[in-house]
Chains A and B, each alone.
Chain A
Amino acid sequence: MTNPAPVDAIEPSSERALITSIIAGDRDKFHLLIRPYERQIYRTALALVKNESEAEDVVQDAVLKAYRKLASFRGDARFSTWLIAITLNEARGRLRKENRTTFDSLDERSEESGDYTPAALTDWREVPLAALERREIRALIQQAVSELPETYREIVTLRDVEELSVNETATLLGISVSLVKVRLHRARMMLQRKLVPQLRLTAKPEPKRRIFGRLSWL
């Protein structure tokens, strides 16, 4: 294990106390403050930059910025939300600087009338969580998320990977709750359509004879 086990979020009141003492000079406590959120902001960064080492750079820069700007944190938002907002900004700034667009040319009208047909399989069997022990199953999910258009990738990352509420997601992305719901639905349907046939094929117990041979992403 090279990364410490995930740390539970600190109680909001102790978190505020922690922030006060860091600003008052107890600087080392900043380590404790961010530990519970490392994974969350890494996933946020990864949703935008799509490359692990770049996402790591974004997280480091965002965390340093959060430290320097800590006195500007207003207690009315959650610290985690503030930290995610800084991370989104850092990632977007980096994309802008390199002239990589941060917007898909999403046509809002096509969002309203999009016609997604889900993968319909009546013989679907639940894939148990234990299947995630298998690298190829994890890779399928990572790849499906990374291939979503950016707008959908952001939504699904905040809402389904990080499990933020619809309201928090809307605040962070600066869009309405109803647009979050529309895009989230589209994103989930795209993932369903892509992943269901793949999971059905891959998550089955190892066949005695390898009919399909090596699959291309392995």
Chain B
Amino acid sequence: MALSCRHVWDRISEYIDDTLDAQVRADVERHLAHCEICSAILDSTRNIIIFMADDRVFELPLDFSKRLHARLDDVLQHEYPEPREIGPY
């Protein structure tokens, strides 16, 4: 089936995650092969997704780990884990 650009846009996220069924995927690919606009939208979306997963983007604050483990040490010195219960988790 020939897809319009709008139809392709609606499927970009699933296309990137590879969760489209084979037929739809093939239709999207056929459209992408000749549509520069949709190809650019796909590439730029993928580019942004790759950026978001990079550790440099959301860095830990300075000395975050040190403070966390210091606070934890305090508790570990004095407390054991609570006995098992039917908790909310």
Q: Which residues of A are at the interface with B, using a C-beta cutoff of 8 A?
A: 2-4, 6, 22-23, 25, 27-28, 30-31, 34, 38-39, 42-43, 46, 52-53, 56, 59-60, 63-64, 67-73, 82, 85-86, 89, 116-124, 126-127, 129, 132-133, 138, 141-142, 145, 156, 160-161, 163, 166, 181, 184-185, 188-189, 191-192, 195-196, 199
Contact of A124 among B44, B61, B68, B80 (CB under 8 A): B44
Determine if A166 and B69 form an interchain contact, defined as CB atoms under 8 angstroms apart. no
Chain B 68-84 near chain A by CB (<8 Å), digits 1 or 0: 11011101100111111
Determine if B44 and A192 form an interchain contact, defined as CB atoms under 8 angstroms apart. yes
**Chain A positions within 8 Å of B76 at CB level:** 27-28, 30-31, 67
The answer to whether the Cβ of B28 comes within 8 Å of any Cβ in the partner chain is no
Determine if A69 and B54 form an interchain contact, defined as CB atoms under 8 angstroms apart. no
Chain A contact residues: over half helix, strand or loop, or mixed?
Answer: helix
Determine if A56 and B61 form an interchain contact, defined as CB atoms under 8 angstroms apart. yes
Given contacts A129-B54, A189-B9, 15 further A-B contacts (CB under 8 A): A31-B72, A39-B58, A67-B76, A68-B82, A69-B82, A71-B83, A71-B84, A72-B89, A118-B41, A121-B44, A122-B36, A166-B17, A181-B14, A185-B10, A191-B48
- How many residues of chain B are within 8 Å of chain A by beta carbon? 53
Q: Which residues of B are at the interface with A, using a C-beta cutoff of 8 A?
A: 9-10, 12-14, 16-17, 19, 36-37, 40-41, 43-45, 47-58, 60-69, 71-73, 75-76, 79-89
**Chain B positions within 8 Å of A85 at CB level:** 89
Separation in Å of the A204 CB from the closest CB of chain B?
Answer: 14
User: What is the CA–CA distance of A5 and B69 in the complex, to the nearest angstrom?
Assistant: 15
Determine if B19 and A6 form an interchain contact, defined as CB atoms under 8 angstroms apart. no
User: What is the CA–CA distance of A145 and B41 in the complex, to the nearest angstrom?
Assistant: 18
Determine if A64 and B75 form an interchain contact, defined as CB atoms under 8 angstroms apart. yes
Determine if B64 and A42 form an interchain contact, defined as CB atoms under 8 angstroms apart. yes
